Amino acid sequence: MDLFAQIEKRSKLVDKGIETYLPVTHPEELYKATRYLPDAGGKRLRPAVLMFAAEAVGGNSESVIPAAVAVELVHNFTLIHDDIMDSDDIRRGMPALHVKWGDAGAILAGDTLYSRAFEILSEMDMDKESLIKCVQLLSRTCTEICEGQWLDIEFEDRDDVTEEEYLEMIKKKTSVLYGAAAKMGALLGGASDEVADAFYDFGILTGVSFQIHDDVLDLITPEDVLGKVRGSDLMEGKKTLIAIHALNDGVELDVFGKGSATKEQIENAVSILEESGSLPYARNLAESYLKEGKAKLDILDDSEARQILLEIADYMLSRKY
Protein backbone atom coordinates (compact mmCIF):
# COMPACT_ATOMS: atom_id res chain seq x y z
CA MET A 1 0.00 0.00 0.00
CA ASP A 2 1.43 3.35 -1.11
CA LEU A 3 0.25 5.99 1.38
CA PHE A 4 0.88 8.91 -0.92
CA ALA A 5 -0.86 7.23 -3.85
CA GLN A 6 -3.89 6.66 -1.60
CA ILE A 7 -3.88 10.29 -0.46
CA GLU A 8 -3.37 11.51 -4.02
CA LYS A 9 -6.37 9.49 -5.17
CA ARG A 10 -8.61 11.21 -2.61
CA SER A 11 -6.91 14.56 -3.20
CA LYS A 12 -7.90 14.46 -6.88
CA LEU A 13 -11.50 13.84 -5.85
CA VAL A 14 -11.33 16.84 -3.54
CA ASP A 15 -9.78 18.97 -6.31
CA LYS A 16 -12.66 18.05 -8.61
CA GLY A 17 -15.07 18.82 -5.80
CA ILE A 18 -13.55 22.27 -5.37
CA GLU A 19 -14.02 22.93 -9.09
CA THR A 20 -17.64 21.79 -8.84
CA TYR A 21 -18.65 23.51 -5.61
CA LEU A 22 -16.54 26.66 -5.95
CA PRO A 23 -16.76 27.74 -9.61
CA VAL A 24 -15.24 31.01 -10.82
CA THR A 25 -18.35 33.09 -11.37
CA HIS A 26 -19.46 36.74 -11.05
CA PRO A 27 -17.77 38.80 -9.70
CA GLU A 28 -14.94 36.95 -11.42
CA GLU A 29 -12.04 38.59 -9.61
CA LEU A 30 -13.48 37.67 -6.20
CA TYR A 31 -13.73 34.03 -7.18
CA LYS A 32 -10.27 34.04 -8.74
CA ALA A 33 -8.98 35.25 -5.38
CA THR A 34 -11.15 32.70 -3.56
CA ARG A 35 -9.75 29.84 -5.66
CA TYR A 36 -6.14 31.09 -5.51
CA LEU A 37 -5.03 29.22 -2.40
CA PRO A 38 -7.05 26.00 -2.88
CA ASP A 39 -5.75 25.78 -6.46
CA ALA A 40 -2.17 26.25 -5.20
CA GLY A 41 -2.25 22.73 -3.84
CA GLY A 42 -1.48 21.78 -0.28
CA LYS A 43 -1.30 18.38 1.36
CA ARG A 44 -5.09 17.88 1.58
CA LEU A 45 -4.51 15.94 4.81
CA ARG A 46 -7.68 17.12 6.53
CA PRO A 47 -10.09 16.09 3.77
CA ALA A 48 -8.12 12.85 3.35
CA VAL A 49 -8.54 12.09 7.05
CA LEU A 50 -12.29 12.73 6.70
CA MET A 51 -12.59 10.39 3.72
CA PHE A 52 -10.52 7.61 5.27
CA ALA A 53 -12.50 7.91 8.51
CA ALA A 54 -15.70 7.34 6.56
CA GLU A 55 -14.15 4.28 4.89
CA ALA A 56 -12.83 2.93 8.19
CA VAL A 57 -16.36 2.66 9.60
CA GLY A 58 -17.81 1.09 6.47
CA GLY A 59 -18.89 4.22 4.59
CA ASN A 60 -18.17 5.35 1.04
CA SER A 61 -15.49 8.02 0.69
CA GLU A 62 -16.97 9.43 -2.52
CA SER A 63 -20.28 10.12 -0.79
CA VAL A 64 -18.53 12.44 1.70
CA ILE A 65 -16.62 14.52 -0.87
CA PRO A 66 -18.74 17.65 -0.19
CA ALA A 67 -17.84 17.45 3.52
CA ALA A 68 -14.18 16.93 2.61
CA VAL A 69 -14.31 20.00 0.37
CA ALA A 70 -15.98 22.00 3.14
CA VAL A 71 -13.19 21.12 5.58
CA GLU A 72 -10.53 22.04 3.01
CA LEU A 73 -12.19 25.40 2.32
CA VAL A 74 -12.33 26.18 6.04
CA HIS A 75 -8.64 25.30 6.32
CA ASN A 76 -7.75 27.65 3.46
CA PHE A 77 -9.91 30.38 4.98
CA THR A 78 -7.85 30.18 8.17
CA LEU A 79 -4.56 30.31 6.23
CA ILE A 80 -5.59 33.47 4.38
CA HIS A 81 -6.51 35.28 7.58
CA ASP A 82 -3.41 33.95 9.37
CA ASP A 83 -1.17 35.42 6.68
CA ILE A 84 -2.83 38.82 7.04
CA MET A 85 -2.54 38.81 10.83
CA ASP A 86 1.06 37.55 10.77
CA SER A 87 2.08 39.76 7.82
CA ASP A 88 3.46 36.66 6.07
CA ASP A 89 4.05 37.34 2.39
CA ILE A 90 4.69 33.78 1.17
CA ARG A 91 2.34 30.81 1.25
CA ARG A 92 2.95 27.49 -0.52
CA GLY A 93 5.95 29.04 -2.23
CA MET A 94 3.87 31.81 -3.83
CA PRO A 95 2.92 35.38 -2.91
CA ALA A 96 0.30 35.29 -0.16
CA LEU A 97 -3.21 36.16 -1.27
CA HIS A 98 -3.18 39.52 0.50
CA VAL A 99 -0.02 40.44 -1.42
CA LYS A 100 -1.82 39.94 -4.75
CA TRP A 101 -5.28 41.28 -3.88
CA GLY A 102 -4.66 43.46 -0.83
CA ASP A 103 -5.96 42.94 2.70
CA ALA A 104 -9.55 43.80 1.81
CA GLY A 105 -9.60 41.39 -1.14
CA ALA A 106 -8.01 38.63 0.94
CA ILE A 107 -10.53 39.06 3.76
CA LEU A 108 -13.43 38.85 1.31
CA ALA A 109 -11.94 35.77 -0.35
CA GLY A 110 -11.48 34.12 3.04
CA ASP A 111 -15.02 34.97 4.10
CA THR A 112 -16.33 33.51 0.85
CA LEU A 113 -14.49 30.25 1.50
CA TYR A 114 -15.95 30.15 5.01
CA SER A 115 -19.55 30.75 3.95
CA ARG A 116 -19.40 28.40 0.96
CA ALA A 117 -18.03 25.63 3.20
CA PHE A 118 -21.19 25.63 5.30
CA GLU A 119 -23.45 25.96 2.27
CA ILE A 120 -21.80 22.94 0.64
CA LEU A 121 -21.94 20.90 3.84
CA SER A 122 -25.56 21.72 4.66
CA GLU A 123 -26.76 20.75 1.16
CA MET A 124 -25.36 17.18 1.35
CA ASP A 125 -27.81 14.36 0.69
CA MET A 126 -27.01 12.41 3.86
CA ASP A 127 -28.68 11.29 7.07
CA LYS A 128 -30.07 14.52 8.49
CA GLU A 129 -29.21 13.77 12.12
CA SER A 130 -25.57 13.08 11.25
CA LEU A 131 -25.47 16.11 8.96
CA ILE A 132 -26.75 18.43 11.71
CA LYS A 133 -24.08 17.07 14.07
CA CYS A 134 -21.44 17.79 11.42
CA VAL A 135 -22.64 21.36 10.82
CA GLN A 136 -22.69 22.02 14.56
CA LEU A 137 -19.23 20.46 14.96
CA LEU A 138 -17.67 22.47 12.12
CA SER A 139 -19.30 25.68 13.43
CA ARG A 140 -17.93 25.11 16.92
CA THR A 141 -14.56 24.23 15.41
CA CYS A 142 -14.39 27.55 13.56
CA THR A 143 -15.11 29.38 16.80
CA GLU A 144 -12.35 27.44 18.57
CA ILE A 145 -9.92 28.22 15.76
CA CYS A 146 -10.61 31.92 16.30
CA GLU A 147 -10.10 31.47 20.04
CA GLY A 148 -6.80 29.75 19.37
CA GLN A 149 -5.67 32.47 16.99
CA TRP A 150 -6.57 35.13 19.55
CA LEU A 151 -4.54 33.34 22.22
CA ASP A 152 -1.63 33.06 19.79
CA ILE A 153 -1.66 36.82 19.25
CA GLU A 154 -2.18 37.52 22.95
CA PHE A 155 0.83 35.39 23.87
CA GLU A 156 3.14 37.64 21.85
CA ASP A 157 2.75 40.37 24.49
CA ARG A 158 3.24 38.06 27.46
CA ASP A 159 6.43 36.74 28.99
CA ASP A 160 4.74 34.22 31.27
CA VAL A 161 3.05 31.84 28.81
CA THR A 162 3.05 28.31 30.20
CA GLU A 163 3.39 25.04 28.34
CA GLU A 164 -0.20 24.18 29.29
CA GLU A 165 -1.47 27.44 27.78
CA TYR A 166 0.52 26.80 24.61
CA LEU A 167 -0.96 23.31 24.25
CA GLU A 168 -4.47 24.71 24.73
CA MET A 169 -3.76 27.30 22.04
CA ILE A 170 -2.51 24.86 19.40
CA LYS A 171 -5.31 22.44 20.18
CA LYS A 172 -7.79 25.17 19.30
CA LYS A 173 -5.85 26.78 16.48
CA THR A 174 -4.79 23.60 14.66
CA SER A 175 -5.93 20.31 16.19
CA VAL A 176 -9.67 20.92 16.34
CA LEU A 177 -9.95 20.91 12.53
CA TYR A 178 -8.24 17.53 12.36
CA GLY A 179 -10.55 16.30 15.11
CA ALA A 180 -13.59 17.67 13.30
CA ALA A 181 -12.51 16.14 9.98
CA ALA A 182 -12.04 12.70 11.53
CA LYS A 183 -15.31 12.81 13.48
CA MET A 184 -17.31 14.18 10.53
CA GLY A 185 -16.06 11.37 8.32
CA ALA A 186 -16.99 8.80 10.96
CA LEU A 187 -20.45 10.25 11.52
CA LEU A 188 -21.23 10.49 7.81
CA GLY A 189 -19.90 6.96 7.37
CA GLY A 190 -22.46 5.68 9.87
CA ALA A 191 -20.40 5.33 13.06
CA SER A 192 -21.85 5.40 16.57
CA ASP A 193 -21.22 8.44 18.76
CA GLU A 194 -18.69 6.44 20.79
CA VAL A 195 -16.66 5.54 17.72
CA ALA A 196 -17.01 9.06 16.29
CA ASP A 197 -15.69 10.50 19.55
CA ALA A 198 -12.66 8.19 19.33
CA PHE A 199 -11.97 9.58 15.87
CA TYR A 200 -12.24 13.10 17.28
CA ASP A 201 -9.66 12.30 19.96
CA PHE A 202 -7.43 10.74 17.32
CA GLY A 203 -7.57 13.96 15.31
CA ILE A 204 -6.99 16.20 18.31
CA LEU A 205 -3.97 14.31 19.64
CA THR A 206 -2.29 13.76 16.29
CA GLY A 207 -3.08 17.38 15.40
CA VAL A 208 -1.17 18.57 18.47
CA SER A 209 1.72 16.37 17.37
CA PHE A 210 1.46 17.88 13.88
CA GLN A 211 1.64 21.46 15.18
CA ILE A 212 4.56 20.84 17.52
CA HIS A 213 6.41 19.26 14.59
CA ASP A 214 5.41 22.23 12.43
CA ASP A 215 7.07 24.55 14.95
CA VAL A 216 10.20 22.40 14.72
CA LEU A 217 10.12 22.53 10.91
CA ASP A 218 9.86 26.34 11.00
CA LEU A 219 13.35 26.33 12.47
CA ILE A 220 15.15 23.48 10.74
CA THR A 221 13.78 23.47 7.17
CA PRO A 222 15.39 25.51 4.35
CA GLU A 223 13.14 28.28 2.96
CA ASP A 224 13.01 26.81 -0.55
CA VAL A 225 11.57 23.61 0.94
CA LEU A 226 9.47 25.23 3.67
CA GLY A 227 7.73 27.64 1.29
CA LYS A 228 7.97 30.55 3.73
CA VAL A 229 10.58 32.53 5.64
CA ARG A 230 12.58 30.23 7.92
CA GLY A 231 12.56 31.09 11.62
CA SER A 232 9.60 33.46 11.28
CA ASP A 233 8.14 32.23 14.59
CA LEU A 234 11.33 33.23 16.42
CA MET A 235 11.57 36.62 14.75
CA GLU A 236 7.92 37.35 15.51
CA GLY A 237 8.39 36.38 19.16
CA LYS A 238 5.82 33.58 19.04
CA LYS A 239 5.57 31.55 22.22
CA THR A 240 5.94 28.09 20.72
CA LEU A 241 6.65 25.10 22.92
CA ILE A 242 10.30 25.39 21.85
CA ALA A 243 10.53 29.05 22.82
CA ILE A 244 8.71 28.52 26.12
CA HIS A 245 11.03 25.68 27.08
CA ALA A 246 14.10 27.70 26.13
CA LEU A 247 13.01 30.90 27.90
CA ASN A 248 12.08 28.97 31.05
CA ASP A 249 15.59 27.52 31.06
CA GLY A 250 17.14 30.96 30.68
CA VAL A 251 18.41 30.37 27.14
CA GLU A 252 19.51 33.58 25.41
CA LEU A 253 17.94 34.04 21.97
CA ASP A 254 19.05 37.34 20.41
CA VAL A 255 16.69 37.08 17.44
CA PHE A 256 13.56 36.36 19.50
CA GLY A 257 10.91 39.00 18.80
CA LYS A 258 13.27 41.19 16.76
CA GLY A 259 11.15 41.13 13.61
CA SER A 260 14.03 40.23 11.31
CA ALA A 261 17.30 38.33 11.33
CA THR A 262 19.99 37.18 8.96
CA LYS A 263 20.23 33.55 7.90
CA GLU A 264 23.39 33.26 9.99
CA GLN A 265 21.57 34.54 13.08
CA ILE A 266 18.77 32.02 12.55
CA GLU A 267 21.32 29.22 12.12
CA ASN A 268 22.96 30.22 15.40
CA ALA A 269 19.62 30.35 17.22
CA VAL A 270 18.70 26.88 15.96
CA SER A 271 22.05 25.51 17.14
CA ILE A 272 21.45 27.01 20.59
CA LEU A 273 17.95 25.49 20.77
CA GLU A 274 19.29 22.10 19.75
CA GLU A 275 22.13 22.12 22.25
CA SER A 276 20.01 23.46 25.10
CA GLY A 277 17.54 20.59 24.72
CA SER A 278 14.52 22.67 23.67
CA LEU A 279 14.25 21.21 20.18
CA PRO A 280 14.70 17.60 21.42
CA TYR A 281 12.07 18.25 24.11
CA ALA A 282 9.56 19.36 21.46
CA ARG A 283 10.30 16.34 19.28
CA ASN A 284 9.79 13.96 22.21
CA LEU A 285 6.48 15.53 23.22
CA ALA A 286 5.23 15.39 19.63
CA GLU A 287 6.03 11.66 19.56
CA SER A 288 4.14 11.16 22.84
CA TYR A 289 0.99 12.83 21.47
CA LEU A 290 1.26 10.82 18.26
CA LYS A 291 1.41 7.51 20.16
CA GLU A 292 -1.59 8.43 22.32
CA GLY A 293 -3.59 9.55 19.29
CA LYS A 294 -2.95 6.40 17.29
CA ALA A 295 -4.09 4.27 20.23
CA LYS A 296 -7.57 5.82 19.94
CA LEU A 297 -8.14 3.85 16.74
CA ASP A 298 -7.77 0.58 18.65
CA ILE A 299 -11.56 0.75 18.96
CA LEU A 300 -11.79 -0.22 15.27
CA ASP A 301 -11.42 -3.54 13.54
CA ASP A 302 -8.37 -3.67 11.33
CA SER A 303 -8.88 -2.43 7.78
CA GLU A 304 -6.95 -0.76 5.00
CA ALA A 305 -8.53 2.62 5.82
CA ARG A 306 -7.61 2.31 9.51
CA GLN A 307 -4.03 1.44 8.56
CA ILE A 308 -3.86 4.43 6.23
CA LEU A 309 -5.05 6.74 9.01
CA LEU A 310 -2.29 5.41 11.26
CA GLU A 311 0.23 5.97 8.48
CA ILE A 312 -1.05 9.52 7.96
CA ALA A 313 -0.48 10.13 11.66
CA ASP A 314 3.08 8.83 11.32
CA TYR A 315 3.62 11.04 8.27
CA MET A 316 2.59 14.10 10.28
CA LEU A 317 5.67 13.57 12.41
CA SER A 318 8.06 12.47 9.69
CA ARG A 319 7.30 15.12 7.05
CA LYS A 320 10.03 17.56 6.10
CA TYR A 321 7.82 20.55 5.17
- Report the C-alpha gap between 2 and 58 in whole angstroms: 21
Question: What global pTM score does this model have?
Answer: 0.92
Long-range contacts of the stretch 150-159 (C-beta < 8 A, 24+) = 152/238, 153/85, 155/238, 155/239, 156/236, 156/237, 156/238, 156/239, 156/257, 158/239, 159/247
The upper half-sphere exposure of residue 159, i.e. CA atoms within 13 Å in the direction of its Cβ, equals: 4
Contact residues for 6 (Cβ-Cβ < 8 A; gap 6+): 308
- Domains contained in the chain, CATH given: 3-318 (1.10.600.10)
- Report the C-alpha gap between 138 and 160 in whole angstroms: 32
Q: Per-residue pLDDT for the chain (321 aa), expressed as one digit of tens each?
A: 689 999 999 999 999 999 999 999 999 999 999 999 999 988 899 999 999 999 999 999 999 999 999 999 999 999 999 999 988 888 988 999 999 999 999 999 999 999 999 999 999 999 999 999 999 999 999 999 999 999 988 988 888 999 999 999 999 999 999 999 999 999 999 999 999 999 999 999 999 999 999 999 999 988 777 767 789 889 988 899 999 999 999 999 999 989 889 999 999 999 999 999 999 999 999 999 999 999 999 999 999 999 999 999 999 888 877
